[in-house]
A and B are shown apart, each in its own frame.
Chain A
């Protein structure tokens, strides 16, 4: 009796994994148009919760301890902080005007926010929301990322078309690098040696050496049957081993797969309509892509570099993704 009970539990555990939400990751998607963050279960890929947020939620990031998801509510000039256990907004932070993208430093202590309307980067303490600095950058700041050593942050400015490198100790802008027109995301590589900057209108990714601040290469894209002006690079993510980069190409409806050693495009993965931002599961095996126009999420298997499926996100104009393992 006892052993069969154990067997039953065990078999339930094994066979029942897809239903065991405790083991599944939670996927948080910001939906720009209907002012929500929807939470999907990574096993069932079903929406398990819809969280109303401030107006125009876009940038979304999870803290390194996975306890909080921070969301930029641009039109409400604030950050909404979601508790990843209760799936409720636990607090809000005064982000400064029109926050668009943000990042948390690797130690989880500071939040860096690109204030789109004010040509500023706001740096604040995560615990208290105390503003440590407002750093003037170019017009329409957007991209925001902190390097792995937490010594440097990079932001982009859409109208100025520059990448701005900020010293995280002094809050000085240490370099401004012209990139192609309308830069969106900036992201340091896993080893921190390069910053990759996408240019939506320029159609390129500028790979910048983090030390010299010189552009090493501008990666261009060419897809048979897709008009060049539809290729609008947006989000960037690197695999955990740092060997591969994924770049979302917006209206081209594809994710470019780039070998980081050679900086060559290896492949294009067809996804939903207008993929914008992405997030990699911390285990490195799965990439999730928010498709703005088709209101869905494409799940990509990193090993095979194939799109497995696309599922509705339960919100309108999905913008960015954060994952709690």
Chain B
């Protein structure tokens, strides 16, 4: 299927009662493809706020919407796409499941998996020619030292998220940061990304503190009193700072900082002003359409992971439709070619960085109820893509694909 080719569709009977499935196949070549949504029910921390719903269909609903979009076009092209949903339980073995799917011939995966599982699955010999689109993990190591040629990344890396925040601080001239982190592994990873970002954008981390305290009674009467006592202690006597940066990936204290810190300061990071790819309050660049379409399909608001899953499925769709082939190698070549671009309600087309197969994208800076800004910020320049000022640029990348 060449770009701009004409696809004649057969006439259908009945005035206005067109049945697209009866339309003659549009392309000379029948393209059939199955996209597997592969997930696992990991234990996830309970949100600190009652406002945040606990979901059992996070991600999968986005994949369904993406599939619906793809099918709308596939019908015109005479292509046939399937979405297979495979979600293993929390104690399940997702690697064995992947092996089984690969043995059955599946090659296109939208992987709602954490980094260890992604590494294991992408390292399977039978996955060598598969295309695994990561829609969950922001782990920097997946984009650097443990990158894989069959692994593509939709979520912005932790480094991209941290850089997005740091650019905004630099633009605001909020140069002194107080960094507070929890005790989880992910907290240190985000803190490390913030340290790197601070160095890159000329900011200073005036002090770094670890929070070991875990509030136990937030929902009990007077639970707020305990928190009101603890947070000032955690934040007092620090060198003066413009903003508190919080690294709390496990929902232990981040939510409690704003309005309780010793000095009245803005809060950003995993809580407060957050660097994300999607948010229920985002409506720019046609985003409103996406929000209402998702709401209609899923009966709830769209999460960032829903967005990633939608985008992962759409990425396959674009490559399948435009390349007119379901051969994994053709799809891979297409994704990395200059022809590939996917529209994702960001006001510009998104493409993959060839050096680590990370999707280039602007990063939204969202407050709880509204958009604050979008990075890259004005003045941060790059010879090729402004969005490449976020995260590991080609010269800094630790990823080396085998040639």
**Chain A residues with a Cβ under 8 A of chain B:** 116-117, 119, 123, 131-140, 157-162, 170-179, 181-182, 200-202, 206, 212-215, 227, 229, 232, 251
Contact = CB atoms under 8 A, between A and B. Distances in A.
Given A159-B69, A229-B347, A117 B293 contact: yes
Given A206-B4, A229-B347, A139 B69 contact: yes
A174 B69 contact: no
A162 B322 CA distance: 11
A178 B16 contact: no
A119 B75 CA distance: 12
B18 A135 contact: yes
A77 to B, nearest CB: 12
27 contacts: A117-B289, A117-B292, A117-B293, A133-B16, A135-B16, A137-B76, A138-B72, A139-B73, A157-B72, A157-B73, A158-B286, A160-B73, A160-B76, A161-B73, A170-B11, A172-B12, A175-B9, A176-B26, A177-B4, A178-B1, A178-B4, A181-B342, A200-B343, A201-B341, A201-B348, A206-B4, A229-B386
B55 interface: no
Interface of B: 1, 3-9, 11-12, 15-16, 18, 20, 23, 26, 69, 72-73, 75-77, 286, 289, 292-293, 296, 322, 341-343, 347-349, 386
Given A174-B8, A202-B349, A133 B15 contact: yes
A119 B11 contact: no
Nearest to B348: A229
Given A172-B9, A201-B343, 16 more contacts: A117-B292, A117-B293, A123-B16, A136-B75, A138-B73, A158-B286, A159-B72, A170-B11, A173-B9, A181-B341, A201-B349, A215-B4, A227-B386, A229-B386, A232-B347, A251-B347
A181 B341 CA distance: 7
A74 to B, nearest CB: 9
Contacts of A232: 347
B15 A139 contact: no
Given A132-B15, A136-B20, A139-B72, A174 B9 contact: yes
Contacts of B296: 117
A174 B26 CA distance: 11
A200 B18 CA distance: 29
Given A138-B72, A251-B347, A132 B16 contact: yes
B363 to A, nearest CB: 15
B120 to A, nearest CB: 34
Contacts of A182: 343
